[in-house]
Structure 1
Amino acid sequence: MRYHLLGVFLRLASIVHLVLGAAVFHWPDPLLDTLDDQLYRPGFSPASTFALNCGPRDNSTIAAQWLRLAYHDMATHDSTTGTGGMDASIVFEFDRPQNIGVGMLESLVDFLVAPNEYVGMADVIAMGAINAVVGCGGPVIPFRGGRIDATEAGPATVPEPQQDLASHIASFKAQGFTETEMISLVACGHSLGGVRQADFPLIMTEDVPAGIQTFASTLGFDNTVVTEYLKGTTENVLVVGSNITTRSDFRIFSSDGNVTMQSLASPDNFNQVCADLIGRMIDTVPSTVTLTDPIEPIDFKVWNTLLFPQGGSLAFLATLRIIDTGVNRTVTMFWKERTGTFCPPAGCSVPSFQVTTDSASFLATLKGVTAFKLHSFNAAIDLTTSISQFWFEVNDNDGSAPFIVDNNGVNYTIDQDVVLFDPRRSSFTIGGLFMVVGVKDPSTSINVTALTTIDGTTTVPVTSSVIANFELDSSNPPADGYMFYTSPISGKSLSNTIHATVNGTAYSLWVPFLDAPGV
C-alpha cells in the first residue's frame, strides 16, 4: 500500500553538489527535483532498492530483468533517422516474440509509482538499468534525465538469436554501435540472467532443474561470462546450446577472432567498457530529445515547501536538505515580504525547529554520500505583507564564518500567494482523497482545475492524465482572506498541477506526491 502526503514546489532552487559537468538545479525544475530524490533517496523509487544484492526473482534476478528491459526498449533506435531509443515504447511491444518473458511486465510493474507529470517511464527504465548494474556489484554509470515517453510501439528491431551475424551487425549499427561495441555490449548484458526454457523452448531444448540456464556461473555483474567463454567451460546456451541456429552469442563473441573478448578478460577493462556502453545505451534517445547533464546528489536542496493560510497568518513550511558530512550545522531561514516593510532590513528569520537524518540510496553511497540532514522550518508569515523570497544562513559551528545558501545569489522565489494548496484542510484518508485549494480575494470569475497524473495498472503500465474540477467548499468557510475549493482526486495520483484563473489572471502550481512525514 502507498502512503502519500503532499508537498508543493513553489519556485524553488538549490546549490548543486559540485561535480564537474553535473546538472545544475535551477528553479523551478520538477524534473531534476524528482530525479535527484529517486536516484539518491531510497524511499522515493523502487529502482533504488529492489535490485540490491542481486535480489532473486523467477529463478533469475530482478537486475537481469531490468537490464534486459532497458536494452529491448532502446533497440528500436535508428541512428540514421534519429527515431526510437529509450522512450518506453516497450510498454506497447509485449506482443512481440522478442519481448516474451514474465520479467518484462514485472519490471514495469516495479516502476509503476515512479513516473509523474515531469518524469516519464523511459527515465525510470534507465534508472533501473544503472541500479541493476550497481546492485549486482557492477560499475557506477552516470544518469542523465529528460527522456520523453513514446505514445505507440516502435519498430520490431530487437535482435533475435536465430538471426545470422550479418543481421546482428546491421541491428547494432542502426542502434549506433560498431561491431566491436556489439560484442562488448552483448557480453556486458549477458553478465546477468539467462534463458528460460518456458519462454524459449527452441533455444533451451534440454531440461534444466530451475527451468533457466544462466549465461554465467556467477550471480553478480562481472566478467565470468567472458572468462568461461574463453576457457571453454561456459554453459551459456547461446554459445554451446544444442540448437546451432540460436548460438548467437558464439557468432557474436567469435566474430573478430576473440580479440574483443580477450580484452574483456581484464575485470577492470570489463567494468570500464560496460559502464561506457550501458551508459550510451540508456542515453540513446530520439534526436528530438535533449538529456540533462549527469545528475549528481544535490547539496543544499530546498525540499517539501508549503505555503497556506492558517490561524490568522500564512504558514510556511520548508526543509533544507544537506548532504551529511558529520558537521553539526545550525541553519536559519530568512525571508522578505511581498508588500510593505514588515521584516527588518536583514529579513525576517526563524531557526529550524528540527533536524532529522534521512538515509542515502546505495547509488548515493557509491558517490560518497552516506546520509542527508533535513533541517525543517515552520514560519508564521504576516498575511498582509506575505512572502516573496527566502534564503538560508548556514553555520558550521567550527569558528568559520557562516555562509549563505541563496540559489546562487538570486534567492528562492515564491511567485504568488493567490492560489495555494492547503494540506491541513485536505483529506487523505481511507474514506477518500480530497484536495483543498485556497484562493485569495476571489471575484465571481473563478475556475480551478488540476491536471492529475495517474499511474498505470499491472496489465497496462502506462500513466494517464485526468482533469479534476474544484468546487466551492461549504465545509471550509472563508478564512484569512481565502475561500476554499475542493475536488476529489484519485488514490492512484502520482502528481497534480493546479490551474486557476482568478480575476482574469492565470495561476499554476505543481503539487507532487511526496513521502513527507509530519506535513
Structure 2
Amino acid sequence: MDSSIAATLLLKLLLGSVLPTASADRNGISARDIYEEMEHILVDNKGTNSDGLVNAITPCSNYINGDDTDGEQSSAQWVRIAFHDIATADVAAGTGGLDASVGFESNRPENPGLFINQTIGFFNPDVSAYVSMADMLALGVVASVATCGGTTTDIPLRTGRVDASAAGPSGVPEPGTDIDTTLSSFAAAGFDQSEAIALTACGHSLGRTHYTNFPDIVDESYVTTDNTDGGQEFDSTPAVFDSAVVTEYLDQTGEKGGPLVTTTNETQRSDFRLYNSDQNATIESLAASEDSFQTQCNTLFAKMIDTVPSDVVLSDPITPMPWKATDIGLDISSSGSVSVAGLIRNLYGASESAASSVSYTYTANGTNSSAVETTGSAGSGSSLYGTTAWYNFNTTIESPGTTALNINSAISYPINVDIFVLPAKSSTNTRSGTVTLYAAALSNIATDSDTMTATFYVATSQTGSRANTVTTKTVTLTESGAAGAYTLYTASATGLSSIGDVIVKVSMGDYASQTVKTSIFG
C-alpha cells in the first residue's frame, strides 16, 4: 500500500477509540466478540497472534492451493466467489445475497473450476460462532483489493452475515448469456445497467480466464509449462488492482479487455456485449482516472458484499483498533483469589515505536484500581494498517465487584466475575475430540434447583457444502470443590470436531459467562 495512504488510514483509526456499534447478539454470542474476531482476521496479518489470511495472498499473484505455474490466482478467486454468491439475489423479495449458499453450488455449470471449494476450504479454519463463512467471503474481497494495490482499504467491512443451509437459485450470468438476461439478473440483485458494467470490469481487473474451464473461449496455446491451466489475462497487470482492464479495452492495447472481449467465439463475448450496452459510457467513466476507477469499484464492491437477505442485520464498518485485548481469561486460586490475564495489542504507524510497557486498570465497585504495568513485549507483527506490538497481562482483581478491564485509558472490556470459565485449568484433546472444562460461580448466586451447563459452539462439516457450519452441544457440569466465595464445577464434552474452533460459555439460572475460545485452554 502507498505509505501516504497508510498514514492517512492510521491517523483516522488513531483519532477514535470508541468501538463502533456491532450487529445484534447472535445465538448467545456477544456482538462485540463477533466484531473483534473479524477485526483480528483483518488486521493481524503477520507475526505474533496473526491469522495469516491476508498474508496468504501477499503477493497478490499467490496461488494458495497449488503452484504459481498453474496460472491461477487466489486473490481473483476470492473476488469471483463473492460475486457468484450474490449474483442470484432477489433484493425485492429480500432473499439471497452474500450468504455462503455458493458452497452448495460448486457443481453447477455456471460455476466451473475449483474456485468455490478451494476458497471455502481455505477460509474454513476461521469459521466459528464468531465469524460466518459469509462474513469470510466479504473479508476476502476487502483483503484482495487491499493487497493487490487498491489505493485504499476503505471498502467498509461489516459483520453479522448468516450462512445459508442450502443452495440458492441458479442463474449466475455466463459468457454465453444474452445481454437482456444478464442485465435482468443484475437488476434483480440490485445493480442497474451502469453498476453491472462497472462491477464486472472491477472484478476483471484481477486474474484470468482459463482454458481448463473455458476451452471454447481460451485457445489451447495458452497452456504451457508455466501456465498449466491455460490462463489468459483480462489485462496486462492481472496481479494489480488497477484501471488497466478498462484503459486497454478502450485503447485496444495490451490484452484489449481480455478473452471475454476478444475471443474468436463471438457468442462468448459477454464482457464486450456488456461494456457496449451503453456505448462504453460507463467504461469511459471508469477510465477517466485511476482515482475514478478505484472510487467507483470500492463503492460497488461494498454494495456487493453488503447485499444480504432482508432479515440480516449488519454491524457498523470495522475500524482497526489502536488498542485491544484478546484471549481474556479469568482464573481462581485455591483460596478464592481471582485473576485476569490475556494479551494486549497496540497498532501503530510508521512514525511511532512500540512502548516498553502498557498500563491498565480494572474497575471494581465503581472505582478504578491503581495502574498496573505489563512486563515487556510479548511479540510483534505487521498489518495492512501498521505495526502491531503485543504485551502479556496478568493481575489479581477484586472479586466479587470487578466489572471492567481498562487498557491505556483507551478502551474498556466488561469482566464478569459472577460466573466464568477457567481456561488455564481446562484442557483439550484433539485426538479424541474431548474438552475437559472447569468453571466457577459465586456460591450465593445459585439456588438448589440451579445447575451449571456449558454450551459448546463447534464448527462442523455439513452435507453438500465444503463450508463448515456451527452446531451447539450442551453438557451439565458437576460440583468439584470450593474456593473462597466460589463453587467450582467441571465436565467433559466428547466427540467434538475441530477442537481449535470451539467457543464455550457456561450458564446457571439467570447468569451466563462470557465466551472463551478453547484454543487458549491449558
- What's the TM-score, normalizing by structure 2? 0.81
* SS of the residue 1:446 aligns to: coil
1:41-440 correspondence to structure 2 within 5 Å: 41-42=44-45, 43-57=49-63, 58-139=70-151, 140=153, 141-204=155-218, 206-209=220-223, 210=227, 211-219=230-238, 220-233=240-253, 234=255, 236-265=258-287, 266-312=289-335, 313-324=337-348, 325-326=352-353, 328=355, 331-337=358-364, 347=369, 349-362=371-384, 364=385, 370-381=386-397, 385-392=399-406, 394=408, 404-405=409-410, 407=412, 412-427=413-428, 433-440=434-441
Bigger drift between 153-162 and 200-209 goes to 200-209
* SS of the residue 2:161 aligns to: coil
Amino acid at match of 1:155: P
Partner of 2:469: 463
Bigger drift between 435-444 and 483-492 goes to 435-444
Quote the offset at 1:329 in angstroms. Answer: 6.8
Contact 2:89–2:95 (CA under 8 A) maintained in structure 1: yes
Within 2, Cα distance between the matches of 1:224 and 1:41?
31
Partner of 1:400: none
Structure 1 residues 231, 332: CA separation in 2 closer, same or farther (over 3 Å shift)?
A: closer
Contact 1:425–1:436 (CA under 8 A) maintained in structure 2: yes
Structure 2, unaligned stretches of length 5 or more? Answer: 1-12, 24-29, 64-69
Structure 1 residues 512, 18: CA separation in 2 closer, same or farther (over 3 Å shift)?
A: farther
Quote the offset at 1:145 in angstroms. Answer: 1.8
Quote the offset at 1:97 in angstroms. Answer: 0.9
Structure 1 residues 255, 264: CA separation in 2 closer, same or farther (over 3 Å shift)?
A: same
Structure 1 residues 148, 309: CA separation in 2 closer, same or farther (over 3 Å shift)?
A: same
Structure 1 residues 297, 513: CA separation in 2 closer, same or farther (over 3 Å shift)?
A: farther
* SS of the residue 2:248 aligns to: helix
Contact 1:322–1:372 (CA under 8 A) maintained in structure 2: yes
Partner of 1:451: 456
Q: Choose from 474, 483, 487 the match for 1:482.
A: 487
Within 1, Cα distance between the matches of 2:334 and 2:76?
54
Amino acid at match of 1:277: L
Contact 2:17–2:410 (CA under 8 A) maintained in structure 1: no
Structure 1 residues 200, 19: CA separation in 2 closer, same or farther (over 3 Å shift)?
A: farther
Partner of 1:499: 506
Amino acid at match of 1:221: F
Contact 1:387–1:414 (CA under 8 A) maintained in structure 2: no
Within 2, Cα distance between the matches of 1:415 and 1:133?
39
Quote the offset at 1:228 in angstroms. Answer: 2.1
Within 2, Cα distance between the matches of 1:45 and 1:327?
21
* SS of the residue 1:360 aligns to: strand
Bigger drift between 478-487 and 16-25 goes to 16-25
Structure 1 residues 451, 72: CA separation in 2 closer, same or farther (over 3 Å shift)?
A: same
Structure 1 residues 287, 297: CA separation in 2 closer, same or farther (over 3 Å shift)?
A: same
Amino acid at match of 1:144: R
- What's the TM-score, normalizing by structure 1? 0.82
Structure 1 residues 462, 161: CA separation in 2 closer, same or farther (over 3 Å shift)?
A: same
Give deviations 1:134-176, integer Å, cap 9, x for gaps. Answer: 2211232221222121122111131111111111111111121
Contact 2:340–2:397 (CA under 8 A) maintained in structure 1: yes
* SS of the residue 1:380 aligns to: strand
Give deviations 1:324-373, integer Å, cap 9, x for gaps. Answer: 343747543333546xxxx9x763553323333432322x2xxxxx2233
Contact 1:112–1:456 (CA under 8 A) maintained in structure 2: no
Over aligned residue pairs, what C-alpha RMSD do you find? 3.1
Within 2, Cα distance between the matches of 1:267 and 1:346?
51
Structure 1 residues 184, 34: CA separation in 2 closer, same or farther (over 3 Å shift)?
A: same
Contact 2:460–2:497 (CA under 8 A) maintained in structure 1: no
Contact 2:61–2:75 (CA under 8 A) maintained in structure 1: yes
Give deviations 1:231-265, integer Å, cap 9, x for gaps. Answer: 22436221111211111011111222222222322
Structure 1 residues 513, 95: CA separation in 2 closer, same or farther (over 3 Å shift)?
A: same
Within 1, Cα distance between the matches of 2:129 and 2:60?
30
* SS of the residue 1:281 aligns to: helix
Give deviations 1:387-437, integer Å, cap 9, x for gaps. Answer: 42234474xxxxxxxxx3464xxxx43234334233234245767653322
Q: What percentage of residue pairs aligned between the two structures are identical?
A: 30
Give deviations 1:479-501, integer Å, cap 9, x for gaps. Answer: 55433313145350313232333
- Higher RCO (CA-CA < 8 Å; seq separation 6+): 1
Within 1, Cα distance between the matches of 2:163 and 2:433?
30
Structure 1 residues 114, 346: CA separation in 2 closer, same or farther (over 3 Å shift)?
A: closer
Amino acid at match of 2:330: L
Contact 1:192–1:221 (CA under 8 A) maintained in structure 2: yes
Within 1, Cα distance between the matches of 2:401 and 2:372?
14
Quote the offset at 1:99 in angstroms. Answer: 1.2
Quote the offset at 1:105 in angstroms. Answer: 0.7
Quote the offset at 1:30 in angstroms. Answer: 1.0
Within 2, Cα distance between the matches of 1:315 and 1:76?
51
Structure 1 residues 22, 197: CA separation in 2 closer, same or farther (over 3 Å shift)?
A: farther
Quote the offset at 1:68 in angstroms. Answer: 0.4
Structure 1 residues 430, 478: CA separation in 2 closer, same or farther (over 3 Å shift)?
A: farther
